[in-house]
Structure 1
Amino acid sequence: MDLQVLRSFQAVADGATVTEAAARARLTQPALSRALNRLEEEVGAELFQRVGRVLRLTPAGRVFKEHVDTLLDHYDRGRRAVAEVVDPDAGVVSLAFLHTMGTWLVPRLVTGFRQAFPQVRFELHQDGEAGLTRHLLDATADLIITSDDPGHPLITWRRLLVEPLWLAVPARHRLSGRRRVRLAEAAEEPFIVLKPGYGLRGLTEHLCHEAGFAPRVGFEGEEVQTLRGLVAAGLGVSLLPASPDAAPTPDFPIRYLELTDVRGARDIGVAWLRGRTLPPVTHRFLDHALRTAADAARVVVGPEPE
């Protein structure tokens, strides 16, 4: 049984077309189709059924995929472990992180780490809170950077830093001349928020509830940069991280106001699967993140001087 065929089976089972999977494997589409047919003969069951133009897993295929995922994961981890024995300063760090961390924290951590270990490679994934937990449980990432403790019995979480949250308002907003504001003063404003399922959306709703109101949603987005752009355009206000990449620019004329009636902050932490031995290079990166993340966050955007 060819590992490349198993990877192609995995890709098609995860939603890729046979043509796409064949291109990744540098095969022709007919050649991969024949290989998948031979795989079904070896397994002794039909693994896919065609639904329209799409291949879907059969019940036997779903059972088989669970074992293929485990097999390939152990194989890849074995190769990484051997590579790190041969060259301890090399290897791969598999890291998943919140979308909002991809514009400043993750680049700073990776850059600092690769200055000491330039041969290390990174496998990076972005996702929301729930997706990050799945990355750990499905073994598609060794570490995740997320907000707050996932609260899962199989996951260990450590705080990296506390990230301030400010009320972002358009430059010509009625509150824009202030440095501090009660969140309750924005109760009648349309809120530009992330879609349900994102941690920042849940935190926004929680803080508004603490301030005595439910936010009136003006727009739901998937990226914090989109939220900033729409606030700058005057379409509403938003609770946004005061990260170093959030400075106002001519394209983003925003004012950031400190909150006085609620705790405007969120914990950012790193997590890994309890009981799983991290590869040596990943453990080095974890130590690096715990040691340096707070310093990377020292420059944050805050209220402009009066």
Structure 2
Amino acid sequence: MDLRQFKAFVAIARQQSFTRAAEQLHIAQPAVSMAIRKLEEELELTLFNRKDKRISLTAEGEVFLRHAERILDNFGAAQTEMAELRGLSRGEVRIGIPPMMSSYYFPRVIREFRERYPELQLSVNGEGAGRIQRLIARGEIDMGVIAGGNVPEGLKSRRFLREEIVACVPAGHPLAAGGSISLEVFLGQPLILFKEGYFMRELIDATARERRLTPQVVFETNLFSLVRSLIKEGLGVSTFLRMVVSEDPDLVALSFDPPLHLDLLIAWKAEGYLSRANRAFVDFLMERVGEV
């Protein structure tokens, strides 16, 4: 077995397609098929179900995937660490940031980080907190911003921000003059919610379950700018971090009674190698927290 076989196997498992895997790896599809055929022959196992042009992992393939991902992670970590021992100055930070945070908190962070470390490259993946956790676990990103609470097993994290969660209504809404709103009243309103996997949606769903209430969801999206626009159009109300709506004259931010806050964490794989570039980003982020 060699690394090319491992890479081909993992790419097919993730893409569920030999064609898309070949495109991702920038090699011809016959080469991908041959790599998998040789791998299965060496293991004397069938790793993929091939039926009606659909690809899925066999039970044996599921087991092998865990080992293959770990091997590729370790190889990548070894390459990075050896490069650092050679004194190479360049590096890359691959980070996942939920869309709301990438627009209203991290632009300044990224600019100031680049000013301090111009030789380092940043690659930002905009996803919900749930998917960010999966991308970290799979080694597709190095670290990511997740919501506080129960940190998933296998991740290390540090808190860098605590922000108030507010209900957001259009200016002129009957609730706008109240200054605050109870969760029960909020859940009885027509709601515009983020899709599952985003921390705001998880909060609403968990709150509703605790109170045995059914949220009146009228629209779902993962585009926070669309949520803002639909609130202004009077379609419904939603939740935001206060920083997102504090300076918008067309929206009114209402504190919950009792108040709600969200802890935001920077997280990375506990058993993975955190490169010098990634350590620099974490240290820089925590340094900024101390300055606030």
TM-score computed with the length of structure 2 as normaliser: 0.84
Q: Could you say if the C-alpha distance between residues 159 and 28 of structure 1 is closer, same or farther in structure 2, counting changes exceeding 3 Å?
A: closer
Q: Alignment partner for residue 268 of structure 1, among 264, 274, 279?
A: 264
Alignment correspondent of 2:181: 182
Partners of 2:251 and 2:242 in 1: CA distance: 11
Q: What is the CA-CA distance between 1:155 and the residue it aligns to?
A: 3.4
Partners of 1:98 and 1:51 in 2: CA distance: 37
Q: What is the CA-CA distance between 1:214 and the residue it aligns to?
A: 5.7
Partners of 2:10 and 2:212 in 1: CA distance: 49
Q: Could you say if the C-alpha distance between residues 221 and 8 of structure 1 is closer, same or farther in structure 2, counting changes exceeding 3 Å?
A: same
Q: What is the CA-CA distance between 1:43 and the residue it aligns to?
A: 2.8
Unaligned ranges ≥5, structure 1: 299-306
Matches within 5 A, 1:96-107: 96-107=96-107
Partners of 2:51 and 2:241 in 1: CA distance: 44
Q: What is the CA-CA distance between 1:129 and the residue it aligns to?
A: 3.3
Q: What is the CA-CA distance between 1:294 and the residue it aligns to?
A: 7.3
Contact 1:150 1:157 in 2 (8 A): no
Alignment correspondent of 1:216: 216
Instruction: State the secondary structure of the residue aligned to 1:14.
Output: helix
Q: Could you say if the C-alpha distance between residues 113 and 269 of structure 1 is closer, same or farther in structure 2, counting changes exceeding 3 Å?
A: same
Q: Could you say if the C-alpha distance between residues 153 and 281 of structure 1 is closer, same or farther in structure 2, counting changes exceeding 3 Å?
A: same
Partners of 1:38 and 1:26 in 2: CA distance: 19
Partners of 1:281 and 1:169 in 2: CA distance: 41
Instruction: State the secondary structure of the residue aligned to 1:102.
Output: helix
Partners of 2:109 and 2:120 in 1: CA distance: 13
Partners of 1:247 and 1:155 in 2: CA distance: 35
Alignment correspondent of 2:91: 91
- As a proportion of its length, which structure holds more helix? 2
The answer to whether 1:257 aligns with 2:256 is no
Alignment correspondent of 2:130: 130
Instruction: State the secondary structure of the residue aligned to 1:73.
Output: helix
Moved more, 52-61 or 231-240: 52-61
Partners of 1:60 and 1:202 in 2: CA distance: 34
Alignment correspondent of 2:46: 46
Q: What is the CA-CA distance between 1:75 and the residue it aligns to?
A: 0.9
Alignment correspondent of 2:275: 279
Instruction: State the secondary structure of the residue aligned to 1:161.
Output: strand
Alignment correspondent of 1:304: none
Matches within 5 A, 1:145-224: 145-152=145-152, 154-176=154-176, 178=177, 180-183=179-182, 186=186, 188-204=188-204, 215-224=215-224
Q: Could you say if the C-alpha distance between residues 222 and 209 of structure 1 is closer, same or farther in structure 2, counting changes exceeding 3 Å?
A: same
Cα distance per residue 1:128-187 (max 9 Å; x no partner): 3333333444444432212213334543332211222232212342344x3823346656
Amino acid paired to 1:268: L
Contact 1:166 1:256 in 2 (8 A): no
Moved more, 32-41 or 226-235: 32-41
Q: Could you say if the C-alpha distance between residues 201 and 76 of structure 1 is closer, same or farther in structure 2, counting changes exceeding 3 Å?
A: same
Q: What is the CA-CA distance between 1:76 and the residue it aligns to?
A: 0.9
Instruction: State the secondary structure of the residue aligned to 1:262.
Output: strand
Partners of 2:256 and 2:15 in 1: CA distance: 48
Instruction: State the secondary structure of the residue aligned to 2:10.
Output: helix
Alignment correspondent of 1:14: 14
Q: Could you say if the C-alpha distance between residues 27 and 274 of structure 1 is closer, same or farther in structure 2, counting changes exceeding 3 Å?
A: closer
Contact 1:168 1:256 in 2 (8 A): yes
Alignment correspondent of 1:303: none
Determine what percentage of the aligned residue pairs are the same residue.
27
Partners of 2:50 and 2:256 in 1: CA distance: 58
Q: Could you say if the C-alpha distance between residues 204 and 10 of structure 1 is closer, same or farther in structure 2, counting changes exceeding 3 Å?
A: same
TM-score computed with the length of structure 1 as normaliser: 0.80
Partners of 2:37 and 2:209 in 1: CA distance: 56
Contact 1:210 1:262 in 2 (8 A): no
Contact 1:168 1:238 in 2 (8 A): yes
Q: Could you say if the C-alpha distance between residues 290 and 120 of structure 1 is closer, same or farther in structure 2, counting changes exceeding 3 Å?
A: same
Q: Could you say if the C-alpha distance between residues 277 and 53 of structure 1 is closer, same or farther in structure 2, counting changes exceeding 3 Å?
A: closer
